[in-house]
Amino acid sequence: MNLGLETSKQQVAELALLEESFEANIRDYTKIIDGYGKQNRLQDAENTLSAMKRRGFICDQVTLTAMINMYSKAGNLELAEKTFEEIKLLGHPLDKRSYGSMIMAYIRAGMPDQGEILVKEMEAKEIYAGREVYKALLRAYSNTSDAEGAQRVFDAIQFAGISPDVKLCALLINAYRVAGQTQKAHVAFENMRRSGLKPNDKSIALMLAAYEKENKLNKALDFLIDLERDGIVLGKEASELLAAWFQRLGVVKEVELVLREYSAKEASCEVHPS
């Protein structure tokens, strides 16, 4: 995006609105407010909103949603909530954008549980948030080791008809890892594979980190052998994590030997099936 060009457009629009002869409509004001929001110019946005009202325009859901986005990014949850209530008072059904903006406000405020309440409210009305909103909510639970919350959101994603990708699966795996629930992390990893998704470097590294956290070297070796059997090669992050772990244990050579012997045994079984 050309920021200079965008700024120039914003300035032209601002000047036009000051002209009494200019017949502005509500969308003109909304664009200006949205532009101010992106520049974190709260006072200018509020002044524009006041000017819009003075000219007899009634705030609609689109304009108020732009205000929620602005307050959310500025970290002002109280004003975001107040504006969300204003939207409800309009008497029209709330759309996914308004809901999504308020959910993001709760996530930014460190209150994913309140965001999840809105997700459930949406589901009851058969309205579903966008992928990025679900992803942000899942990440919020994942980073705070709330594995149950992460699983609920992951289920909600599928209920909304969104097919989880590897990144969403990795967030669920991470939630279980941080919570110290390695077995459930492994179940999530295997469910991802069964759905036809190829594990990426991040998801593999997360599983190895989970095993390391609980000092389960044998489980990690079984995991690696299973990946090798399916032709999955470790990436940079997983390899570095594994190398550092083995070095700390002082078993680098021993592990290499075990893996080599096991691979040879697997190859032998394939050539001479019992």
pLDDT tens for each residue of 167-182:
999 999 999 999 999 9
- Cβ-contact 119, 103 below 8 angstroms: yes
pLDDT of residue 14: 56
- Which position has the higher pLDDT, 76 or 1? 76
The model's pTM: 0.81
Find, among 11, 4, 5, the residue nearest to 36 by Cα: 11
pLDDT at 12: 44
13 close to 28: Cβ distance less than 8 angstroms: yes
pLDDT digits (tens, 9 = 90+) for 99-127: 999 999 999 999 999 999 999 999 999 99
Q: What does the pLDDT look like over 195-210, one tens digit per residue?
A: 999 999 999 999 999 9
Query: What is the reported pLDDT for 258?
Result: 57
Buried b / exposed e along 42-62 (16+ C-beta atoms within 10 A): bebbbebbeebeeeebebebb
Q: What does the pLDDT average to over 2-8?
A: 49
Confidence grade of residue 251 (pLDDT, cut at 50, 70, 90):
confident
